[in-house]
Amino acid sequence: MRDWLKEFKLHGAIWLHCGDPRAPHALLTSGLHSDGFVNTTAVTCRPELIEGILKSPDGLGPHLEEARGADWVIGSAMGAITLAHSAASVLRCRSGFTEKDGDRMTLARFHTLPGEKVLLVEDVITTGGSTLKTFDAVAGTGAEILPFLLALVNRSGRERLHAGKPERDRDGGISIEIRALITLDIKTWRPDECPLCKNGSASLRPKACWEELVSWNK
């Protein structure tokens, strides 16, 4: 069975803290500190690897087969553009992506029609916010969104996303199952609350200090 987590780590797409209190941890662009870091660009830039993930029986292949008959595969810009294109190539359908428009995501360059079936894909699901905005953009055209979405990495702690209404009022909303290749439990903290800092661990920018971070995991 293929170890996808190991492959993502080898390609520099995932780093996880080793547990040693002396080992450094991640300083994210948001300013938060974390015991993990995900950069799926290191994977989505490799067409042969994405194709393997989408076709492999121990990857996303079986889930993608369930989407046969879809008219579109749509992801959100920028991270899920190449994943959507690759998945659409396997399904022999069209691909598209949503883009930011203020606080919304919009289908600025593509036009799905009422009744057309759409598979949503994401590279990484962290809070699910961008995915729900993509859902709203597609649903607004009258297209039929499949009841599951595909993701490379799910670090949200959720198994489903609830669209159509705020989560605090789920009655009448639509529940979408998250089917991810890799599911991670990654924690984040404000700098003043970071337990790793309190143990003497240094916070480092992952992309700039990648070799130093991964050296502790060897």
The closest alpha carbon to 106, from 148, 72, 146, 77, belongs to 77
Contact 79, 40 (CB under 8 A): yes
Rounded to an integer, the average pLDDT of 177-197 is 97
Interior angle at CA 190, CA 153 and CA 10, nearest 5: 35
Confidence at residue 80, expressed as pLDDT on a 0 to 100 scale = 96
130 and 204 share a domain? no
120: Cα within 13 Å, side-chain hemisphere: 31
The torsion angle over the Cα atoms of residues 54, 58, 62 and 63, rounded to 10 degrees, is -70
109 and 144 share a domain? yes
44/106 Cα distance (integer angstroms): 22
76 and 152 share a domain? yes
Does the pLDDT of residue 173 top 90, yes or no? no
Domain that holds residue 213: 1-35+187-218
61 and 88 share a domain? yes
CATH label of the domain that carries residue 118: 3.40.50.2020
Does the pLDDT of residue 169 top 80, yes or no? no
Confidence at residue 77, expressed as pLDDT on a 0 to 100 scale = 92
48 and 108 share a domain? yes
Does the pLDDT of residue 208 top 50, yes or no? yes
Confidence at residue 172, expressed as pLDDT on a 0 to 100 scale = 55
Task: Spell 165-196 as b/e; 16+ CB within 10 A means b.
Answer: eeeeeeeeeeebebbbbbbbebbbbeeeebeb
Average pLDDT over the chain, rounded to an integer: 93
pTM: 0.91
159 and 205 share a domain? no
Counting the structural domains of the chain, the total is 2
69 and 22 share a domain? no
78 and 98 share a domain? yes
177 and 204 share a domain? no
169 and 206 share a domain? no
The three-class DSSP label of residue 171 is: coil
Does the pLDDT of residue 31 top 90, yes or no? yes
Judging by DSSP bridges, how do beta strands 117-125 and 144-154 pair with one another?
A: parallel
35/48 Cα distance (integer angstroms): 29
Tens digit of each residue's pLDDT (9 = 90 or more) over 112-168: 999 999 999 999 999 899 999 999 999 999 999 999 999 999 999 999 998 765 444
For residue 82, with 0-12 CB atoms within 10 Å meaning exposed, 13-18 middle and 19 or more buried, which class applies? buried
130 and 57 share a domain? yes
Rounded to an integer, the average pLDDT of 60-83 is 96
